[in-house]
Structure 1
Amino acid sequence: MKPVNRCCLLGCMILLPVVLKAQTKTMNVLIGTYTNTGKSKGIYVYSFDPASGKLSYKNEVAASDPSFLALSTDRKRLYAVNELSTGGGAVSAYNYHPDDGRLVLLNTKPTYGDSPCHVIVDQKDQHVVVSNYSGGSLTIFGIQPDGSLTEKVQLIKHEGSGPDKSRQEKPHVHSACLSPDGKFLLVQDLGTDLINVYPYEASNRDTPLSTEVNTAKASPGSGPRHIAFSKNGKYVYLVQEMKGAVTVYAYNNGQLMSLQEISMLTPSFKGDVGAADIHLSPDGKYLYASNRGEANDIAMYAVNEQNGKLTHIGNQSVEGKGPRNFAISPDGKYLLVANQYTDEVIVFARDEKTGQLKGTGNRIEVGAPVCVLFDEL
């Protein structure tokens, strides 16, 4: 019998942990769409390979205009708005099976507000918060032990208008975001140019939201849409849909103070404006915001971590039209863009040192994609 080479065996024992450490985690990407175009059926689940940046079809579920998605903290449930503009909107709860991407409908509840366009789940999986764009309101639902939704527990209707009477004739609640400590809910209203800050108590099952609201103003006619918190929680970044700009606020215990406003557009741009989404890189060093209209690009900024202010470092074409929403992978290496009007999701590689984006050539066809959501397995 041939003798065992102990040096070879020892070498294998040393190398094995290194190989395991180098392995990357696979991810799922969940995609919400508009089905009223007839090009899509509902919610799609793809597998994402972080080594190659490629997306592979996994599963789908039929739904009516599931334009925005949110995962529960425990990753067992998915919540999707049904952005219906007539007859009242709705929100649906699903059991989510990450391994095969299956989504099983639990129930659907009316939001009592037209065109619900945004949904979040609080950090304790106690409530779901829905923003009703045309309804100008906010609807809160409790979550049952099985993940299904209760009837609404609160409905908050905004009042007021803005200077642009063609688009700001009334409130248009576009999104809601909880502060990192979960104590305040920040609600962006495109119609009134305000961020409304509500005290929030997740343990209060019936009335988690206090009506003692603080407000922070955005530029007149700017149209607040979405926000992102800095990694340290000291700053809030607001994307202005109608102006194509980002406002930086200092944040402290529910109070906002404006520090900076910076354009998302290149100096030579003169076309239609329609800013959409905003996200920070996982390390907090770079900020990205999407331009629709005729720009169709991602504005990129370096973040001054000492004072929260931004420096514009460039714009990256999205290689399509209508970048409604985008998402940065949990490892910070990729940025995926949902190009609503060209029916595709585009994969960009992200340089973690410079913040710049570069096309990978990877893309998938999806009808009218609106929301892109990563789930790390």
Structure 2
Amino acid sequence: MNDTSQLLLFIGSYAPEGEEGVRIFRFGAAAGGTLEPAASAGGISNPTFLAADPERRLLYAIGDRANGEGGKEGLVATYAYSADGGELTELGRAGTMPAHGREQTTTCHISRDPRGPHLAVTSYHGARIGLMALDENGVAGQLLDTAVHTGRGTHPERQDRPHPHSAIFSPDGRFMLVSDLGLDLIRTYEIDEAAGKLMLRSEAAVHPGAGPRHLAFHPGGQAAYVINEVDSTITSFRYHPQEGRLEEARTVSTLPALYTGDNICAEIAVSPDGRYLYGSNRGHDSIAVFEIGGETLTELAAVGHVPTHGGHPRHFALTPDGGFLIAANRDANLLAVFRIEKSSGIPVFTGHTAAVSRPVCVVPIQL
């Protein structure tokens, strides 16, 4: 990549309405991973998680708002961005899942249907997942359906009720896989296109007290991996794409053997070539690196741990070519850039950083 303007980084953060919580940086790969501020947008409370449509140059950001009755509910803002990242224009806002009374139905995660017509939004506190429609211009609009989770897990504090943390579309867009931290379950929903409904197809359990948070697919589509927030582990699965079904294979720790401090996990990603798996530790404040192997691509061999040069790496992302990793250190108010060593998969700190207030999501887009 020789033109540094061809890769943009979209950053979501914890921010009040009066601050510009959505930011764009131009990423200079040819210059070793430089970060150049390009544009920003405000007016939304806590635009934490983002999703993008590169073909239409659209960005989707979740946020929250008061419902007037003592509760809070989620919203989605749609933005258009310019080719060079220098402009970010809001096109509209839509409510996600309404809150009644003192309910908390704020959203923690958003993803876009790779086939185009839908967004999935997840409410950690509201124990539900929403399917939203996009209009002909790609702007988020009507809430089509909601799936509500019930029950509890084994951890007395973290799993006293359902806590869905993400909804990830399968590579072919047919299914939506929801990781529920409170229930130790990953539920697979199929989308009824004609009716605009979510239909539960199957569920895969992880071990009690795990707390599944985010899921990533292998590029080949035959395996998937979930990072478990509560007990700092990663579980690998065989994936059966015709049914959207997960088959558990093995679980590994994200921490060094001698580490005894507090820790919770956050994000997970697979390298574009499918060789390496990455997970972030909050507490140990590191990126755990694993080599993916085995005939079913479910064997995970620990490679090492790399400090993120900041506290609480709530999110990170790999550039589309797999050459760099950008970590969002929430408590350090810092983005840190790492170059990926191709021979080992290890991220090496480049020295390039950018100050951002409480960053929690990184979305790289190749133009």
TM-score by length of 1: 0.89
Q: Does 1:59 align with 2:47?
A: no
Q: Which SS does the other structure have where 1:176 is aligned?
A: strand
TM-score by length of 2: 0.92
Write the distance in 2 (CA, Å) between the matches of 1:22 and 1:355.
22
Aligned-residue identity in percent: 34
Q: Does 1:196 align with 2:187?
A: yes
Write the distance in 2 (CA, Å) between the matches of 1:302 and 1:100.
34
Q: Which SS does the other structure have where 2:198 is aligned?
A: coil
Write the distance in 2 (CA, Å) between the matches of 1:224 and 1:301.
18
Write the distance in 1 (CA, Å) between the matches of 2:360 and 2:76.
16
Does the aligned pair in 2 maintain the 1:89–1:110 contact within 8 Å? yes
1:304: which partner in 2? 293
Pairwise mapping of residues 176-215 of structure 1 onto structure 2 (< 5 A)? 176-201=167-192, 203-204=193-194, 206-210=195-199, 212-215=200-203
1:124: which partner in 2? 115
Query: Alpha-carbon deviations, 1:43-88, whole Å to 9, x = none?
Result: 0001001112100010000032110000025242111111568421
Q: Does 1:109 align with 2:94?
A: yes
Give the number of the structure whose alpha-carbon radius of gyration is greater. 1
2:60: which partner in 1? 79
Write the distance in 2 (CA, Å) between the matches of 1:371 and 1:336.
10
Write the distance in 2 (CA, Å) between the matches of 1:70 and 1:301.
26
Query: Alpha-carbon deviations, 1:87-123, whole Å to 9, x = none?
Result: 2121111122232332221222222262301101111
Aligned CA-pair RMSD: 1.8
2:102: which partner in 1? none
* Deviation for aligned residue 1:346: 0.1
2:211: which partner in 1? 223
Write the distance in 2 (CA, Å) between the matches of 1:98 and 1:139.
30
**Structure with the higher fraction of residues in strand conformation:** 2
Does the aligned pair in 1 maintain the 2:25–2:85 contact within 8 Å? no
2:351: which partner in 1? 361
Counterpart pick for 2:77 among 92, 117, 125:
92
Q: Which moved more, 1:161-170 or 1:330-339?
A: 161-170
* Deviation for aligned residue 1:305: 5.3
1:251: which partner in 2? 239
Query: Alpha-carbon deviations, 1:255-292, whole Å to 9, x = none?
Result: 11111100000011111121000001111100000000
Write the distance in 2 (CA, Å) between the matches of 1:265 and 1:100.
37
Counterpart pick for 2:136 among 127, 141, 145:
145
Q: What amino acid does structure 1 have at the position aligned with 2:256?
A: T
* Unaligned segments of structure 1, at least 5 residues: 1-20
Q: Which SS does the other structure have where 2:173 is aligned?
A: coil
* Deviation for aligned residue 1:24: 7.0
Pairwise mapping of residues 295-374 of structure 1 onto structure 2 (< 5 A)? 295-304=284-293, 306-308=295-297, 309-374=299-364
